[in-house]
Structure 1
Amino acid sequence: MQAPVMVLNTNTKRESGRKAQLGNITAGKAVADIIRTTLGPKSMLKMLLDPTGGIVMTNDGNAILREVDVSHPGAKSMVELSRAQDEEVGDGTTSVIVIAGEMLHVAEPLLLRDFHPTVICSGFLRALDDALVVLRELAFPIDLTNRAELSNLVRSSIGTKFISRFSDQMVELALDAVQTVYIDSGGRKEIDIKRYAKVEKLPGGDIEHSRVLKGVMVNKDVTHPKMRRKIERPRVVLLDCTLEYKKNESATSVELTDETQWEALLKQEEDWVAAVCQDILAVKPDVVVTEKGVSDLAQHFLVKAGVTVLRRMRKTDNNRIARAVGATIVNRPEELKESDVGTGCGLFEVAKIGEEYFTFFVDCDAPKACTILLRGASKDVLNEVERNLLDAMCVARNIYQAPMLVPGGGACEMALSVALAHKSKAVPGALQWPYKAAGQAFEVIPRTLAQNCGCDVVRIVTELRAKHASAASAGGPPVAWGIDGEKGVICDMRALGVWEPLIVKQQTVKTAVEMTSMLLRIDDIVSGMQHKAPAKATRAEPAGGEDEGGGN
């Protein structure tokens, strides 16, 4: 039996062996160089042009890479790396790309010296295990009841962002939002800020006017002009069904011979709608919200009973309202019970802001959902404020999930570098070189911080390395010396109050090292995309066809 053979189309592009590995390294370094200048409080902004002609100005690593169009598969993997970091912990998207790019950079000389990629990856992964141990030694717990400590932590995370000059207010917004949606039931913590902490952006006004609503705000108006627009302590009913008569026109055939039959048909529809409304009115609601449509006849019955109706509500908004007011979404009006009615709302109000109407369910007794109302000069400013605020909320969420901190300002990374350089002496064989190189790669964070604030990079990084090395040689615990990104000087991060959640730092290190190892183990890149060959010019044939004699 003949062995199977892999056949490649002659039109496919292929890179193999050393060429593929070096190509991935070059692509990864190029992506890291794009966002290297966006790290730290003195970072630069990037102006991005999207395909529709819009402009985005930001220094958020994930937002930048989301708009960058790359074609190399290695570069695409780096972009996915930032996205994975953002979805997992919501912060550290720039750091993970910078560290991964530096890991690829230190691996290049090892490849050129004929180190096998498997050996390099083994050294990197062994360094990763030891790095996680060092991080846990650096970590210390934080008291979740101490609002001042939490504020300092979130403030240090947004100190590198566009909204740093409004940091006090944004810190309060982030903490209020996270504490509102935080649920701790029997040791199981749930903090779903993506689903239950909605950001609403309204151009106009000052950023100082932004606030967290203890409830929900939606861009909706009442369906009838005679309905009440302000109700205190309303009884809220939430529905996931239509309040219209269902007409199955394609499968129903009705023949009418006189007008009395037509009136009887309309009477049936009216009776059905009246019965549905009676089922709803039986629980004495003040506000009815449905995700489907509401007919004019149903509005008539509900207005007569003094009920306000909102229709075609989004499923996500309906879920937030249910959490805020304590209601249950019901699929069939005849199944409504008293326990399904939401009574936890303090005020229902419909107000006009600018040219649009907004509905507020606010002053709730125990809201487990909230709306962050952002005001600002323009849409571009509001979009950047929203991105930065989401990062701050993710930091606060991470602290509530795992209340452990490590020093920021490059102190962690320099401590890792010094510790791995010391431990590399005990690593046997060829693994010692990639292990030591991994430790050197972590220095890229303090070095980049020093570069971005314009100080003497070599002198600052050398002094910082010496401080950590002297503490390590004395046998004491790792120190918290790092770089003040504002002034470009070395200082103790404990005195400066710059901290980062341990869970973010662990995820950053793990994601960067594992992605680097994966890229280095790729030794073949095969593209199956067809490339059309240019059309060949054909020789003009004589008028008589193939027979030049002109026929038979």
Structure 2
Amino acid sequence: MHAPVLVLKDSLKRESGSKVRYAIIQAAKAVADVVRTTLGPRSMLKMLLDAQGGIVVTNDGNAILRELDLAHPAAKSMIELSRTQDEEVGDGTTSVIILAGEMLHVADAFIDKIHPTVICRAYNKALEDAIAVLDKIAMPIDAQDRGIMLGLVKSCIGTKFTGQFGDLIADLAIDATTTVGVEIGQGLRDVDIKNYIKVEKVPGGQLEDSRVLKGVMINKDVVAPGKMRRRIVNPHIILLDSPLEYKKGENQTNAELLKEEDWSLLLKMEEEYIEELCMQILKFKPDLVITEKGLSDLATHYLSKHGVSAIRRLRKTDNNRIAKACGAVIVNRPDELQESDVGTGAGLFEVKKIGDEYFAYIVDCKEPKACTVLLRGASKDLLNEVERNLQDAMSVARNIIKNPKLVPGGGATELTVSAALKQKSSSIEGIEKWPYEAAALAFEAIPRTLAQNCGVNVIRTMTALQGKHANGENAWIGIDGNTGSITDMKERKIWDAYNVKAQAFKTAIEAACMLLRIDDIVSGIKKKQAPGAAPSKPKVETEADADSEQILPD
């Protein structure tokens, strides 16, 4: 007798074959069409409503797709592309979706005639050749030259909402990234935007009031405003990761007191313990004590008596930033404090009131390796969009510091790559020639979308551009996104970072290959129950029972 084979009924939904591939291509195209109009300086904005009723107004590809609620699994994986692009290089989130959508769209024509593995092989070959062309046209620059850096960051965020404010956002981004850049040897620098640059948005004032602080700003006030100083010049700062209050028992501790004196003894022990803690700190003569945990009233009394200001319940991330800015070391136990742990790098500690809230500034640091960008503006929605644009600008500045190479913007890079691949396709033999040619055409989606968003005649513009790129010499000819005219990108200073373009090409083609190789979508979701019905278990048959249709009992 055969071993019983379990068959699950009612619990698997399955689609397979070319039907699935067509559905995937349609889903990818639909996602690409959502963000298509947000490419370039003449892009449209999207207004998104979230589940809580909040609104987001933006043209940032990643921010738009993040808010979408999609059912199709292929569409969800397309959204992951923009997230990957955003985390890796911080820019080009719209381009990568449009490119991936186009790569799948051009494969539609021969998905039935050519096996997907062959298409993927041709696409990967096209990717290798595209990166080779990028390397050829990339222009090395001096990352220390502020003028060049400013031009580059401006051209990369010229497509954003804040492009209308001139150099403001680009200046903030360059100041912030150069502040936190650290040498990691062999002429390389590392810039940790996520951990060491804090963007603090405070509604009110004008956007022009925004600035980069050479230090850290936190939304906190001193513990006892009446007794503690709110302004200290050249403060000595101690950072703690431990509470300055009586140590509680690990679990609910019960103490049985038999005599009345025991109670006063217990209180005395608590007071002595806190006094001992404070004395261990005070012997280093600090001006400011900051702790991530609690700080009791008694500790506040001892500290304020000795003229020490204190801030409590600080976020771990903020504490790390303060440590980087003023050169202090975060200490876990006060009895382990050393002279070298005290931070002396800050020039000023000050508490200011902005609007209804108090903010503590630790600024004018000598060599800050962390900073805060203070953004002012009319409304929360405006500030949120400015922050998104600033993050992109800082990512671009970081990419240039890490890999100082430029490629032309305005669709010129894609047209150059497309022309080079078209020329090369004539030397490819066999069935791979067709998908390779299709990949070459797909790269033209970026300049075509730019032309559409400018409102110019797309066919004429694209024909003229293809003519200029046909011989492979005019690598810097592209579309000026503002006017729609065909110009030299070098003259107009419209550039892109090499890292952004290379990452966009790799992500888009690799994702297209992955989606094309799917031939089954199987979901193990049970059918919806009628309201109030008891949940049914999936029916299970064994081979032996199949004839008699005996079902295992619930």
TM-score by length of 1: 0.94
Q: Which amino acid aligns with 2:400?
A: I
* Percentage of pairs with the same residue: 61
Residues 18-47 of structure 1, C-alpha deviations (whole Å, 9 max, x = no match)? 011111000000000000000000000001
- Counterpart secondary structure, 2:496: strand
Q: Quick one: distance in 2 between partners of 1:259 and 1:535?
A: 63
Counterparts in 2 of 1:124-523, with a 5 A limit? 124-187=123-186, 188-224=188-224, 225-248=226-249, 250=251, 252-470=253-471, 472=472, 476=473, 479-523=475-519
Q: Which amino acid aligns with 1:503?
A: N
The residue aligned with 2:536 is: none
Residues 442-493 of structure 1, C-alpha deviations (whole Å, 9 max, x = no match)? 00000000000100000001100100103x2xxx5x5210000100110000
Compared CA separation, residues 280 and 20, structure 1 to 2 (3 A) = same
Residues 249-305 of structure 1, C-alpha deviations (whole Å, 9 max, x = no match)? 856443334433222221111111111101001111000000000011111111111
Check conservation: 1:12, 1:531, Cα contact below 8 A: no
Compared CA separation, residues 290 and 78, structure 1 to 2 (3 A) = same
Deviation of the 1:121 alpha carbon = 0.7
Check conservation: 1:347, 1:361, Cα contact below 8 A: yes
- Counterpart secondary structure, 1:51: coil
Deviation of the 1:190 alpha carbon = 1.9
The residue aligned with 2:64 is: 64
Compared CA separation, residues 13 and 350, structure 1 to 2 (3 A) = same
TM-score by length of 2: 0.94
RMSD value over aligned CA atoms?
1.7
Check conservation: 1:405, 1:501, Cα contact below 8 A: yes
Q: When the two structures are aligned, how many residues end up with a matched partner?
A: 531
Q: Which amino acid aligns with 1:294?
A: L
Compared CA separation, residues 151 and 4, structure 1 to 2 (3 A) = farther
Check conservation: 2:152, 2:494, Cα contact below 8 A: yes
Q: Which amino acid aligns with 2:190?
A: E
Compared CA separation, residues 262 and 11, structure 1 to 2 (3 A) = closer
Check conservation: 2:10, 2:526, Cα contact below 8 A: no
Check conservation: 1:158, 1:167, Cα contact below 8 A: no
Deviation of the 1:514 alpha carbon = 0.2
Task: Confirm whether residue 115 of structure 1 aligns to residue 114 of structure 2.
Answer: yes
Compared CA separation, residues 71 and 399, structure 1 to 2 (3 A) = same
- Counterpart secondary structure, 1:429: coil
Deviation of the 1:338 alpha carbon = 0.6
Deviation of the 1:343 alpha carbon = 0.2
Q: Quick one: distance in 2 between partners of 1:22 and 1:252?
A: 65
The residue aligned with 1:549 is: none
Q: Quick one: distance in 2 between partners of 1:249 and 1:237?
A: 26
Q: Quick one: distance in 1 between partners of 2:360 and 2:199?
A: 15
Compared CA separation, residues 8 and 454, structure 1 to 2 (3 A) = farther
Q: Which amino acid aligns with 2:375?
A: L
- Counterpart secondary structure, 2:167: helix
Q: Which amino acid aligns with 1:405?
A: L
Deviation of the 1:146 alpha carbon = 1.1
- Counterpart secondary structure, 1:120: helix
Q: Which amino acid aligns with 2:132?
A: V
Task: Confirm whether residue 28 of structure 1 aligns to residue 28 of structure 2.
Answer: yes
Deviation of the 1:246 alpha carbon = 1.3
Q: Quick one: distance in 2 between partners of 1:309 and 1:420?
A: 64
Check conservation: 1:239, 1:333, Cα contact below 8 A: yes
Deviates more, 1:252-261 or 1:286-295: 252-261
Deviation of the 1:140 alpha carbon = 1.2
Q: Which amino acid aligns with 2:173?
A: A
The residue aligned with 2:74 is: 74
Check conservation: 2:351, 2:359, Cα contact below 8 A: yes
Q: Which amino acid aligns with 1:262?
A: W
Q: Quick one: distance in 2 between partners of 1:158 and 1:258?
A: 73
Q: Which amino acid aligns with 1:86?
A: D
Deviation of the 1:10 alpha carbon = 3.3
- Counterpart secondary structure, 2:526: coil
Q: Quick one: distance in 1 between partners of 2:493 and 2:117?
A: 41
Q: Quick one: distance in 2 between partners of 1:386 and 1:6?
A: 55
Q: Quick one: distance in 1 between partners of 2:253 and 2:159?
A: 64
Check conservation: 2:287, 2:309, Cα contact below 8 A: yes
Q: Quick one: distance in 2 between partners of 1:535 and 1:283?
A: 68
Check conservation: 1:180, 1:369, Cα contact below 8 A: yes
Deviation of the 1:5 alpha carbon = 6.5
Deviation of the 1:411 alpha carbon = 0.2
Q: Quick one: distance in 2 between partners of 1:505 and 1:105?
A: 21
Check conservation: 2:278, 2:303, Cα contact below 8 A: yes
Check conservation: 1:119, 1:431, Cα contact below 8 A: yes
Compared CA separation, residues 249 and 174, structure 1 to 2 (3 A) = closer
Q: Quick one: distance in 2 between partners of 1:294 and 1:181?
A: 31
Check conservation: 1:180, 1:367, Cα contact below 8 A: yes
Q: Which amino acid aligns with 2:120?
A: C
- Counterpart secondary structure, 2:37: helix
Q: Quick one: distance in 1 between partners of 2:258 and 2:140?
A: 82
Residues 147-189 of structure 1, C-alpha deviations (whole Å, 9 max, x = no match)? 1100000000111000011131111000000000000132352
Q: Which amino acid aligns with 2:514?
A: M
Deviation of the 1:532 alpha carbon = 2.8
